[in-house]
Amino acid sequence: MRFLNNGRVFWNLTKNSMNYQSGNAIVRLLPASYSNKSSDPPAEPREKQNLLTYHVLPLKETLDKFTATVEPLLSPAEFEQQKKINEEFLCTEGGKLQKLLEAVGAKEKNWLAHRWLNAAYLQYRDPVTVYVSPGMTFPRQEFKDINAFLDYTSKVVYGLGEFNDMVKCGKIPVVKMGKNELDNSQFGKVFGTCRIPKPVTDEIVYNPRSDYVVVIYKNHFYKLRIYNNQGLLLSAVCLREQLQNILQKETKHGVPYGILTTDNRDNWATAYEQLCKQSGNKESFATIQGALFTVSLDECTKLPKGEETNQLILSLIHGGGSKVNSGNRWMDKTIQLVVNPNGNVGFTYEHSPAEGQPIAMMMDYVVKKMKEDPNFGKIGASKVDEEAKKLQLCAPDDSINKSLATATTNIDKLVEKLQIKVLKFEGYGKGFIKKQRLGPDSFVQMALQLAFYRMHNEPAAQYESAHLRIFEGGRTETIRSCSNESLKFCKTMVNSSATAQDKADALRAAVTSHQAYTRLALQGRGVDRHLLGLKLMALENSQPIPKFYSSPGFVKSASFRMSTSQVATLYDAFMGYGPAVDNGYACCYNPRENDIILAISNWRFSVTDHLKYAQTLESSFCMMKEVLEQATPPPAAPAKSKL
């Protein structure tokens, strides 16, 4: 995702783009008036999680790792020069900034969390559409008629309500990584949450007591309570009736105010401020912002044969443009459930408060319940206390028409620019990889490196997300997947003189190297967040940005031409998003037992080619399997003692 790793975003931050005034809150709770619940569901006793404090690493340790990660991307002369730059940084500005960061780290449980929220998300000015918000698919559906469409939608809404109840009651299982618990706080930040456009720095609002959703149909907005006055979740039958009533009420399209949320944040902030001047709009906005989530009932669009899966993820990422369903969205909401009569179903999710895995877990929960429980959705309140209520939005003056025209032009350009190919590789899955005693994630990462090298004849700086959930409020660290070992692997694979054994050995060495870096990243011992923290110290203390941040090694290694992540699900589903840089690709993948689903994106009119890359990646997977089967396998690891 572009906002996470594009050097032109993080590393070009300036003092003017930062906002650290203690009086300027960027996160707030909506008042309890935005809920009709008489009480929250009874919560089971919950113990405070035993989570680690996010540390500040020794600077030399970080720079030593950084030096190793840039070597495959530089010429020998550039690398020697970079080592001198690193040493100078360590002994001069870097050391001073390190002391400032250590002082901050000594006072805060997680010095990174709120700074990351600001720098990576709230101060990012490009649109959340494509650049920030991924799409998360459900398995494709086949709705025979509108009744099937409504039945399915109501059950998904019911399932999300059940999941919300689990979150509120503390029933999401606490998982451990080794001896350390993983922070579950992200689950509590996805329901009732919304981003609000502001000049320079956006705001996030939370409404943990919310008891309703907002349904969007033909650009009209309806508040639909999904709990009754006693706090009980409505049955799917009740929800279906309400959805059907909304469909029957609206025959004409409303003004597509939702398309304003797809524009860059400054444009949207200006329009938002103008709209709030009109009586009633501010209250309607607050209702949308306080909803548990939105439900976009899209108009049916035809799917070109062979493009069904590609169009599915694109519809979730951007809605298809102004003439399709981009106006039938509210891109600021953390969770948007999107359902189309053509069978496209999934989430659009605004990334600021949480990572992708909680969203995937939510999807898995709902799909599993719908598949396995014949009574799913039948248990619940059978009486609606309040009919769905239409929200009123209107323009105060002609300036909004100009904003709508600008947003329409911009989203259509963005839709035209983004290209995606969904590759379902069925040659094998993680089952085969594990039989080779290799890690599936690291194996896929090396396949991505190999495909890029075969296409472009050079290695790519490659970003992969690693969670930091062993820390309180932890988000992500970067796994730098390009290494000396990965480059040697790529060169060996394309060397006609190399034997299958040579190639298999190089593959195993590259996988081992990636696994080692992954372990460090998961422990908060990566490179990128520490270096970001040092730069933020310079900005917060009005100090000049060190030249280190404009050095060839830093710029090349932080301009991630491959932006990747694994988001695993149980079902035939996947996540997709846009590339980080103009000359790069994004690839989100779901490795399953017998196949691997990958969503590969690039920008049109770039040096990249998403279709060719997908073909090259598929053949790279086949090459890797072939060399492993031809080579002598390594000796089996000794059995672990039970003593």
Average pLDDT over residues 117-125: 97
Which pLDDT score, from 0 to 100, does residue 401 have?
96
At 38, the pLDDT band (50, 70, 90 cuts) reads very low
Is the pTM value of this prediction over 0.85? yes
State what percent of residues in the chain have pLDDT above 70.
Answer: 92
Sorted by where each starts, the structural domains of the chain and their CATH numbers stand as 28-46+131-418 (3.30.559.70), 59-110+426-630 (3.30.559.10)
Average pLDDT over residues 69-93: 99
Contact 73, 557 (CB under 8 A): yes
Residues 335-384 have pLDDT tens digits of 999 999 999 999 999 999 999 989 999 999 999 999 999 999 999 999 99
Is the pLDDT at 543 greater than 80? The verdict is yes
Q: 583-606 burial by CB neighbour count: b if 16+ within 10 A, else e?
A: ebbbbbbbbbeebbbbbbbbbeeb
- Can you state the angle between helices 93-105 and 528-540, rounded to 10 degrees? 90
At 535, the pLDDT band (50, 70, 90 cuts) reads very high
- Short-list 589, 575, 581, CA closest to 443: 589
Q: Which residue has the higher pLDDT, 643 or 535?
A: 535
Which pLDDT score, from 0 to 100, does residue 574 have?
98
- CB neighbours (10 Å) of residue 41? 15
Only one residue has tokens 């399953």, namely 592
Q: Which residue has the higher pLDDT, 34 or 93?
A: 93
Contact 418, 130 (CB under 8 A): yes
- Residue of 318, 351, 467, 514 with catalytic role: 351
Residues 249-285 have pLDDT tens digits of 999 999 999 999 999 999 999 999 999 999 999 999 9
- For residue 338, give the 3-state DSSP assignment: strand
351 included as an active-site residue = yes
Average pLDDT over residues 488-494: 99
- Residue 379: burial class (beta carbons within 10 Å; 0-12, 13-18, 19+): middle
Which pLDDT score, from 0 to 100, does residue 7 have?
36
Average pLDDT over residues 571-575: 97
- CB neighbours (10 Å) of residue 31? 11
At 396, the pLDDT band (50, 70, 90 cuts) reads confident
Which pLDDT score, from 0 to 100, does residue 357 have?
87
pLDDT, mean over the chain: 93
Residues 510-524 have pLDDT tens digits of 999 999 999 999 999
